[in-house]
Chains A and B, each alone.
Chain A
Amino acid sequence: MHADPIGVQTGAHFIDGDHSCAEGAIAAGCRFVAGYPITPSTEVVERMAERFPFVGGIFIQMEDEIASSIAIQGAAWGGKKTMTVTSGPGFSLMMEHIGFAAMTETPCVFVDVQRAGPSTGLPTMPAQGDMMQARWGSHGDYSIIALSPNSPQECFDLTIHAFNLSERYRVPVMMMMDECVGHMIERVVIPEAEKIEIVERKMYEGPKENFQPFDAGRDMVPMMVKAGDGYRIHVTGLTHDERGYPNMTVNTQGRLIQRLMDKIRLNADDIVMYKEEDVKDADVVVVSYGITSRTAIPAIEQAKAKGLKVGHLRLVVVWPFPEKRIKELARHVKSLVVPELNMGQIVYEVERCAAGQCNVVSVPHAGGTVHQPKDILAAIEKSLRGK
């Protein structure tokens, strides 16, 4: 499937990451957004509100983030591709409904333009402090997908990808942006509509009598129907059977939760996405994501100029975590260096995968700005000491 040309503003633009994210959503086919605007994500919904009347979309400014995060799920069951947009404080409020989306397998996209926290923190300044929250913020066991763009161009490309993954796997997908990328203005090239690949929801069109809305079959992802089309559906956050009815037994819980985990875990090879540079023969590999991947580059260049063998692995998809690859690297390198705009979050995953086979060095930062390349360089050098 290709994008509907009505929503695609083909051409080269000089726009910020927030606007680019909005354009990506519209190109992906998003036609319903509910949100409670918050800095530094406001420009995303501003653009959606401005553009939606021309593409047949609906934007609702809701009373809060709790309402926003459930309104999009109602619209998703009404057949729309949907999204909400927020920053840390609002993301916290949305946690309950991220669990609901995971449990009810409702395709939808959550955009979090991260600012420094906790609480209201630094509204106009960047951080990457919500990375663990994106994975674990709601109660219970479930899986999600999270992406981390490092430029306005990627805000466009990855927002489309977020919708595609969300429709394919019927999970909430998180676009983990940050203030720097969101407010940064750069060239964004929007291709022609027929060059944009779009994944559409698998819709059930068989007989109504025997339809079971949560019968996933071997694909692990059930087909969907639209509310109001005459199929019997029941959507609940309670543990439910294939019919969608509450069935609060140990067996049903075990079967359902196992499938919700497996549909991501067993498809991880297809979902995981990272970019590598010079990791072959490297002594040190810097593992980065989002804006931090850009501040890491001058540090890596400086280290190379000093004769060190340094590679770079950038996580484009952060969740599911590319554990296979990190495990492989840990066997071959002397150290992994993990700069992030938080006090150390994804470094825990790296440590888990490295399992003591190499040195793992965190380069924390409380947020408010980005790393100084010299701090990452110092960590690269330190990571080799004594090895």
Chain B
Amino acid sequence: MPRTEIKIGGFGGQGVILSGYILGRAASIFDSKSATMIQAFGPEARGSACSAELIISNEAITYPYIVAPNVMVVMSQEAYTKFSPQLAQGGMLLTEEDLVVTHNLRSDIKHYSIPATRIAEELGKRLVLNIVMLGFATAITNVVGREAARKAVKVSVPKGTEELNFAAFEKGYEYGLEVLKKIPEKSLA
């Protein structure tokens, strides 16, 4: 896998940073890839749109910042408006279906969406929305393996919440597989 730049956006409290952290941990600890995550600091990290930026690669990561994300996961409208123009040519956009209305989307972007909040609520806790998104992103992008992601979830969530988070991850992952099935094969790059 070549250098893949990933940006996850949402608003403070959605677990944006944690989902980025879990993805990076999955890649670098459980999937023998390289991962570099940069923490955004400043007023934008508390309250409105916040983001996590990471790079995953099979090779050593040199330049530490993302230039144009190949993958973007957004969980709020504000994050969509603010970050989506940065997407690389032909990049993937993954959105929370009920929270993000995509408009003026460039035609080169591959767009996938999931009602992650509803799925999280059905599981009993809206809080696990980020892990639903993580499962979805894992299935769609394949930047880390399913097992690696599960292991990273296990060691990264608070003790006692592992089962709930596994369930959230699996729901998101399965939803992602279903979405992929509906897409004609030739349009998958």
Cβ contacts under 8 Å, B61 to chain A? 186
Beyond A14-B37, A186-B61, A297-B62, 14 extra complex contacts between A and B, CB < 8 Å: A12-B28, A14-B35, A124-B41, A124-B42, A184-B36, A184-B39, A185-B21, A185-B37, A185-B38, A186-B28, A186-B34, A186-B35, A186-B37, A295-B63
Q: Is A298's CB under 8 angstroms from B63's CB?
A: yes
Interface residues of A in 253-271 (CB under 8 A from B): none
As a 0/1 sequence over residues 4 to 48 of chain B, the CB contacts with chain A under 8 angstroms (1 = contact) are 000000000000000001001100110000111111011000000
A183: interface (CB < 8 Å): yes
A294: interface (CB < 8 Å): yes
Q: Is A369's CB under 8 angstroms from B39's CB?
A: no
Bound CA–CA A184/B38 (angstroms):
5
Please tell me the number of chain B residues within 8 Å of chain A, measured between CB atoms: 18
A373: interface (CB < 8 Å): yes
CB-contact partner of B64 in A13, A39, A370, under 8 A: A370
Q: Is B64's CB under 8 angstroms from A14's CB?
A: no
State which size class the interface on A falls in.
20 to 34
Q: Is A183's CB under 8 angstroms from B35's CB?
A: no
Cβ contacts under 8 Å, A373 to chain B? 63
Q: Is B37's CB under 8 angstroms from A40's CB?
A: no
Q: Is A16's CB under 8 angstroms from B39's CB?
A: yes
Q: Is B36's CB under 8 angstroms from A186's CB?
A: yes
Bound CA–CA A21/B24 (angstroms):
20
Which single residue of chain B is at the shortest CB-CB distance from A369? Answer: B65
Interface residues of A in 78-116 (CB under 8 A from B): none
Bound CA–CA A59/B64 (angstroms):
32
**Interface on B for A, CB 8 Å cutoff?**
21, 24-25, 28-29, 34-39, 41-42, 61-65
Cβ contacts under 8 Å, A13 to chain B? 29
Cβ contacts under 8 Å, A39 to chain B? 41
Interface residues of A in 290-306 (CB under 8 A from B): 291, 294-295, 297-298
CB-contact partner of A14 in B28, B38, B39, B65, under 8 A: B28
Q: Is A183's CB under 8 angstroms from B65's CB?
A: no
Q: Is B62's CB under 8 angstroms from A187's CB?
A: no
For this complex, 27 residue pairs linking A to B, each with C-beta atoms less than 8 Å apart, are A12-B29, A14-B21, A14-B24, A14-B28, A14-B29, A14-B35, A124-B41, A124-B42, A180-B64, A184-B36, A184-B37, A184-B39, A185-B21, A185-B38, A185-B39, A186-B35, A186-B36, A186-B61, A187-B34, A187-B35, A291-B64, A294-B62, A295-B63, A295-B64, A298-B62, A298-B63, A369-B65
Bound CA–CA A365/B34 (angstroms):
28
Q: Is A185's CB under 8 angstroms from B62's CB?
A: no
Cβ contacts under 8 Å, A183 to chain B? 38-39, 41
Bound CA–CA A109/B136 (angstroms):
46
Cβ contacts under 8 Å, A369 to chain B? 65
Which single residue of chain B is at the shortest CB-CB distance from A16? Answer: B39
- Number of A-B contacts defined by CB within 8 Å: 58
Q: Is A370's CB under 8 angstroms from B65's CB?
A: yes
Cβ contacts under 8 Å, A291 to chain B? 64
Interface SS of B by simple majority: mixed
Cβ contacts under 8 Å, A295 to chain B? 62-64
Bound CA–CA A183/B36 (angstroms):
10
Interface residues of A in 105-140 (CB under 8 A from B): 124
Bound CA–CA A184/B28 (angstroms):
13
Cβ contacts under 8 Å, A294 to chain B? 62-64
Q: How far is the CB of A169 from chain B (nearest CB, A)?
A: 32
Which single residue of chain A is at the shortest CB-CB distance from B36? Answer: A186
The 4 closest A-B pairs by CB, nearest first: A14-B25, A187-B28, A297-B62, A185-B37
Bound CA–CA A40/B40 (angstroms):
12
Bound CA–CA A294/B42 (angstroms):
24
Cβ contacts under 8 Å, B25 to chain A? 14
Q: How far is the CB of A155 from chain B (nearest CB, A)?
A: 14
Which single residue of chain A is at the shortest CB-CB distance from B25? Answer: A14
Bound CA–CA A193/B35 (angstroms):
26
Q: How far is the CB of B32 from chain A (nearest CB, A)?
A: 10
Which single residue of chain A is at the shortest CB-CB distance from B39? Answer: A183
Bound CA–CA A16/B36 (angstroms):
9
Which single residue of chain B is at the shortest CB-CB distance from A186? Answer: B36
Bound CA–CA A295/B65 (angstroms):
10
Interface residues of A in 1-52 (CB under 8 A from B): 12-14, 16, 39-40
CB-contact partner of B29 in A124, A187, A298, under 8 A: A187
As a 0/1 sequence over residues 352 to 387 of chain A, the CB contacts with chain B under 8 angstroms (1 = contact) are 000000000000000001100100000000000000
Cβ contacts under 8 Å, B38 to chain A? 180, 183-185
Cβ contacts under 8 Å, B36 to chain A? 184-186
Q: How far is the CB of A20 from chain B (nearest CB, A)?
A: 13
Bound CA–CA A280/B66 (angstroms):
32
